[in-house]
Amino acid sequence: MTVNLRGNSQLNFDTGCVEMIHGSGGKAMAQLIEGLFLKAFDNPYLRQQNDQAAFSLPPGRVVMATDSHVISPLFFPGGDIGSLSVHGTINDVAMAGARPTHLSAGFILEEGFPLRELKRIVESMAAAAKEAGVPIVTGDTKVVERGKGDGVFINTTGIGVVPEGVELGGDRVRVGDHIILSGPIGDHGVAIMSLRENLTFETAIESDSQPLHDLVADMVKVVPGLHCLRDPTRGGLATTLNEIAQQAGVGMQIQEANLPVRPQVAAACEFLGLDPLYVANEGKLVAFCPADCSEALLAAMRAHPRGGEACRIGEVVADPHRFVQMQTRFGGNRIVDWLNGEQLPRIC
């Protein structure tokens, strides 16, 4: 496909690639923006072609979150850097109990990156934003010289509004709270690892990358007194639980037998010497709620397609040392500690 805009220059999405001029602020950049980004993200804010988007927000507390995406590989089973950059920021906003309303997108492109792949990424981003119902209202593109980037980096920032009566945060978690997980852990990390250099193995596991704001909306509607939501991304569930234990000055007791892990994820972790508790997720959340609300919350989550496998994994306990402990399936107890450095495989 060839788009011809404003005169004689052309964007060739079959064989072309990103060039320095695409970030220079000149005609080539305008062509890229119009021929690709505007077309894919199309909405009234972008159509105004200003350097910023102006809009009003519904009443309520405003939430803002930003996330930079540098994933390798760019395309993976279940998603790509484009859809991930939309879901990641939507979820960060949603974890405040907020409904995300607007997104921005900043691209850092490496000279030489195929336009065909960029188009695929941008279209995937547009589809993800459309599906989530959150428009990308402003953006930016820069190009760096070959060798100074890794194809594409995408930063997204999101804004959202918290409904009246909802106030979530790690510091609100209390002893006695129930800990609820929205579904199986480790899918995203294993899907990515299956493609990494030197590590190619076949798996049917797809990334769980998905937007969670609709699920969150249902949750806060049923249990507005929810204490905390967090999406266990990098560092996995273990890291998230430790962060919150630290923040709230509490301990946690979880049960391994209640932790959902897909057999394929468990198997991949087994032979790679990894622990699914530390593997990244991109479409799961963990909720802390007063014990007397947990059944209602679970019912609301299970009624939503993105929370169908929700389950209670443990409870918050008093512990001056702020340990996250786990009753193993085997019957013993152990700590689930912070991740130390990058999770590296054991040799034997």
Name the token pair of 38. 């505007």
Whichever of 58 and 273 has its CB closer to other proteins, that residue is: 273
Token pair 């990156």 in the structure block, residue: 113
Q: Which of residues 19-58 bind other proteins (CB under 8 A)?
A: none
Piece of the chain touching other proteins by CB under 8 A; list 111-119, 152-160, 249-257, 297-305: 249-257
Nearest to 50 by CA among 142, 140, 159: 140
CB of 291 to other proteins, least distance (A): 4
Per CB under 8 A, 345 contacts other proteins: yes
Nearer to other proteins, 166 or 289 (CB): 289
Would you count residue 246 as binding other proteins (CB under 8 A)? no
Q: Which of 229, 177, 225, 180 is nearest to 63 (CA)?
A: 229
List the one residue from 22, 69, 178, 284 that touches other proteins (CB under 8 A): 178
Choices 3-11, 44-52, 107-115, 262-270; region in contact with other proteins by CB under 8 A = 262-270
Closest approach, Cβ 181 to other proteins, in A, equals 17
| 7 touches other proteins (CB under 8 A) | no
Q: At closest approach, how far in Å is the CB of 290 from other proteins?
A: 9
Which residues in the 269-328 window bind other proteins by CB under 8 A? 270, 273, 291, 315-321, 323, 325, 327-328
Q: Alpha carbon 187 to chain centroid distance?
A: 13
Strand partners for 68: 155
Find the angle CA(257)-CA(260)-CA(265) to the nearest 5 degrees: 115
Torsion angle of the four alpha carbons 59, 163, 185, 177, in this order, in degrees rounded to the nearest 10: 140
With beta carbons less than 8 A apart as the criterion, state whether 88 and 188 touch: no
Question: Measured from the CB of residue 52, what is the shortest distance to other proteins in angstroms?
Answer: 38
**Contact pattern for other proteins over residues 81 through 120, marking x by CB under 8 A:** ----------------------------------------
Cα–Cα distance for residue pair 85/66, rounded to 1 Å: 10
Q: At closest approach, how far in Å is the CB of 18 from other proteins?
A: 27
Closest CA to 136 of 146, 144, 126, 150: 126
Q: How far is the CB of 243 from other proteins (least distance, A)?
A: 16
Instruction: Return the bridge partners of 178, or none.
Output: 289, 315
Question: Token pair 């105004």 is at which residue?
Answer: 48
Among 175, 217, 222, 311, binds other proteins (CB under 8 A): 175
The least distance separating other proteins from the CB of residue 197, rounded to whole angstroms, comes to 9
Q: How far is the CB of 298 from other proteins (least distance, A)?
A: 14
Cα–Cα distance for residue pair 37/126, rounded to 1 Å: 9
Tell me whether residue 7 is exposed, middle or buried, using C-beta atoms within 10 angstroms of its C-beta: 0 to 12, 13 to 18, 19 or more. Answer: exposed
Q: Looking at 257, 296, 299, 303, which residue binds other proteins (CB under 8 A)?
A: 257
Match 């590989």 to its residue by tokens. Answer: 73
The footprint of other proteins on residues 185-204 (CB under 8 A) is 198-199
One of 251, 276, 283, 307 touching other proteins (CB under 8 A) = 251
Nearer to other proteins, 164 or 330 (CB): 330
Buried b vs exposed e over 124-160: b needs ≥16 C-beta within 10 Å?
bbbebbbebebbbbbbebebbeeeebebbbbbbbbbb
Give the Cα separation of 240 and 171 in Å (integer).
13
Contacting positions for other proteins (CB under 8 A): 175-178, 198-199, 251, 253, 257, 263, 266-267, 270, 273, 291, 315-321, 323, 325, 327-335, 337, 340-341, 344-348
